[in-house]
Structure 1
Amino acid sequence: MPVQEMQAQSALLQIHSGAVCAANLTVARLRSVFYSRLSFLPSARRSISLNCEPQYAKYLCTSAAMDRTVKTSTRVIEHIVLLKSKERAPTEQQDAMVSGLRSLKSLPMVIELNAGKVAHASSEGYTHALHCRYRSKDDLASYANDPYHLDVINKCIVPIVEDRLALDWEADVEEPVLQSGSYGAVRILTMKPKQELANSEIEGTIDALKEYTSKFSFVKQVSAGKNFSPARAKGYEWAYLAMFPSTKELAELINSDGYKGLHSKVSSIMEKFNIVDYHTA
């Protein structure tokens, strides 16, 4: 082992847990130089056929490839985590936690990831949120057991978080699957329907909200589905997620009459209904 690396590891052992979390980001960023290309594999395969450089495919590909009127979708696995930090958690440790969560994007099985501080939340009071996207349930399992992911949990989350929930669902999302850099705000809804309702009514109502949201040209992507990981979901069974360029566009959507009506209809058939809006940068 090089002398410099031994010295660096020795120094890290003496740093406060929040600083350790931040220091790990340097390693994550170095790793991401290599892994970032891997996370582009689906887009890269399509880009090569169009003679586009993978990193710049979404900017340089032909207009025919980017025409939103020709919609194609891809099946993905969505993963969201809502976190509630301790009331007196130092700001520095909260910032280090967000940085640690964002560094998980360097893992090869992750094709999309964002994390940030909550700007608006309903009564459950979650303070931070994470959204990840994978190609398969196997990739989600690999992510959950990855040593670096577990290290981020133990060093950045456990010391300052008092509550959390997570939901996973399958979704067919419109291309491009990779949306990084195109959005700055996210809305998440977690829902538990009333027991007496038929599945068709639940699915129809949530689909209507999803379809209405997708009609707004500024909405980068919208996803919804039924949770398949009940152990960590605190009773929530459905989730909805929408990506926006900024909170300005998010406000435009939620203040529209159509959204208000659908939102009210969705919440009226739910036993539990939770809202989280957060910034991704």
Structure 2
Amino acid sequence: MEKTLLSLGHGYSATYLAKRLVPQGWRIAGTTREVDNFGALRAQGITPLLWDRDAILPWLENASHVLVSAGPTETGDPTLALLKPDIVACAERLKWLGYLSTTGVYGDADGDWVDETTPLTPSTERGRRRVHAEASWAAIPGLPLHIFRLAGIYGPGRGPFAKVRRGTARRIIKPGQIFSRIHVEDIAQVLEASMLHPDPGAAYNLCDDDPAPPQDVIEYAAQLLGVKPPPEEPFEDAELTPMARSFYAESKRVRNERIKTELGVTLLYPDYRTGLKAVLAAEEAAE
């Protein structure tokens, strides 16, 4: 059916896409592993589905568009594990399938720029899983695959303000460390633009125009709240979990020209300053 989206692993980014599509008359089903989430999905105008082949298959067979947000695990891609023969069977009927990946597939660029033509040389296990998952999706013949490599995602409920208020935010200083990031509303508008202008086989970096050291973002968030920023901590002395430390294993600036030139996107939040102001306003309005 036209304007029917199946959202597999319906989470934060998919929720913001649904906010754009539901008012336009789209039928959307989203998967969850918990029945307790059904009410929240229905409140968004989304048909809830359990992560179960029998529940998903009727929607897959009738969807015009599919969004895959569920990330790979140590055993591989969960969507392909559950549905690969069914996806293969309907591949050429679909108008668009979007797979949410990560800029972690590029690995460490020592602070230099990367774009969609940069070789995929991940330096973390998470990045290696994503490279393998991208390749697994790309190997399905006839699938109208679109890969979206997301930088660090932030937005309402996922900004630094709660940690700054609690006093648990940290300014870890690693000289030369640069990250790119993207506001969730910009993710949603890029996905919608791609759905309107499919280009099977395309890959897009989703990030803003202003790669920045992470400590600068925390300092600006504290400034917006009118509080003293947390003290600087040298990276080599900081006590970090292995997961937290892995985020500092890669430093790069990510180019985003393709979403502008090929999809005509104008970022709503081209830098973290405008983005954080909007996040704070949204969070305060929701209180």
How would you bin the TM-score normalised by the shorter chain? under 0.3
TM-score (norm. length: structure 1) = 0.28
TM-score (norm. length: structure 2) = 0.27
Higher strand share: 1
Q: Which has the bigger relative contact order, CA under 8 A and spacing at least 6? A: 1
